[in-house]
Structure 1
């Protein structure tokens, strides 16, 4: 363990430090939003995620809920101190879906990506602890629109040139849709899917999950294919997932909600 890691972890609560002590620790991510550590020792192969306080309660709840259905890793520890949230989970064997071994076979990857999402959307949602549906998303989108926030990259992707027309279209679509409720991932992109030999082993980063509309995940799945594979695999994805399950109006609505709610549910905006 290098000194940089030691200086960081010495500020963590004692219970969190107990997982790190005498381990090989690798920093996977280090930015203002979160730090992620891979912790390896004889008894553990785990991940520690650290964020500013009050950022990970939903992620901990959704990870624990989806673990029961074999979709997410087991939560070993979740706590907060006066500055940070701490989430420790088992490592899911395999590698994420943007690893070179998978990117080299984009058609096969697209099929697995769609099949994995369909499996997630078949999870029982009646006792899911979090709701992240269309109503909640519209409320957030309205607030962001009034503050002048819009993700112009998604706006262009959807074919809009005007923020005002996108907002008007979003409101009109919302008036006439019925929510197609499932458990959503909330950030359905290739890096958050863990595969082993082209088979789904699980999902990570479900902080924006909950009971929601399947089209939100479908929209972000299509966006991820375009962004990560640099090609058009949308029809293959839709056909594999099930064309009969997809409503074009709801899909566009979820895209427009993403315009105003930021990049993959976060506050990343291109003004």
Structure 2
């Protein structure tokens, strides 16, 4: 996780967040253009995520539910106005892109595989997202209809399928995917926190729900290639 000091204007945030944001240095830890994530190093630490209205509702629900299971941060506040805001308490630990974890890739891969096996074998009850698999299939169909397709991603991570080949594969084989397993949905190195090599928490769980374990396995392999193999020089 990158932490870059950033200047903020309090008036750009609802009053309820001002006690957290004022009289402290704030760091930007954003990892995508879709949301701004601020780290607030007060007391035990907080993260404040900001995105367009409605985009954090699912994450707030799933983070709260998973926190009750002991595997996600505590949600302190979710607020939806002209923008969405999600305030969570920092969990002790570092994500798996930390240098001391990447320096031992074999141990890290083994730890992530063990954790994925554990996650997929627990009998989770009352999950708010009951069919993540179908949601993903519907999203793929909608993207195909409107011509949204990431060719570079396909070349690098999906056997260079064309959009037509990809949607045909989904239509032919999608029925084989299950909905019996709780998946993170974005099981990448930046989204798993370890504390001295022991699992601490999942973060960015807006894609989680009941689905097929191969969803997590795909994103784990993607992340290993992106975060470890490229850095280690196995890919150019």
Output the TM-score relative to the length of structure 1. 0.76
SS at structure 2 position matched to 1:29: coil
Provide the C-alpha distance between the structure 2 equivalents of 1:104 and 1:167, rounded to a whole number of angstroms.
38
- Equivalents in 2 of 1:65, 1:227: separation in Å? 30
**2: CA distance, partners of 1:105 / 1:96:** 14
- CA–CA distance in structure 2, aligned partners of residues 64 and 57 of structure 1: 11
- How many residues are treated as equivalent by the alignment? 225
Which residue of the partner structure matches residue 222 of structure 2? 223
Task: Give CA deviations for 1:22-73 in whole Å, capped at 9, x if unaligned.
Answer: 333222228642111111224x411111111111011011111111122111
Find the counterpart in structure 2 of residue 121 from structure 1: 120
CA offsets per residue over residues 72-96 of structure 1, 9 Å max, x none? 1111111112x11111111111111
Deviation at 1:158, TM superposition (A): 2.9
Tell me which moved more, 128-137 or 181-190: 128-137
**Where in structure 2 are the equivalents of 1:109-188 lying within 5 Å?**
109-156=108-155, 157-175=157-175, 177=176, 179-188=178-187
**Structure 2 Cα separation of the partners of residues 162 and 55 of structure 1:** 29
Retained in 2: the 8 A contact 1:132–1:209? no
Conserved? CA contact 2:132–2:179, under 8 Å: no
Q: Determine if the alignment matches structure 1 residue 51 to structure 2 residue 51.
A: yes
Show the 5 A alignment for 1:1-271. Answer: 4-5=7-8, 7=9, 9-29=10-30, 32-42=33-43, 44-81=44-81, 83-156=82-155, 157-175=157-175, 177=176, 179-230=178-229
Kept after mapping to 2: 8 A contact 1:180/1:212: yes
Deviation at 1:201, TM superposition (A): 0.8
Tell me how large the CA RMSD over aligned residues is: 2.1
**Using the alignment, how far apart are the partners of 2:213 and 2:200 within structure 1?**
20
Give unmatched runs, 5+ long, in structure 2: 231-236
Aligned partners of 1:69 and 1:123 also within 8 Å? no
**Alpha carbons 1:22, 1:41 under 8 Å: kept:** no
**Pair 3,225 (structure 1): closer, same or farther in 2 beyond 3 Å:** closer
Closer, same or farther: CA 3–17 of 1 in aligned 2, 3 Å: same
The CA distance in 2 between the partners of 1:155 and 1:40, in whole Å, is: 39
**TM-score calculated relative to the size of structure 2:** 0.87
Please state how far the C-alpha of 1:202 moved relative to its aligned partner: 0.8
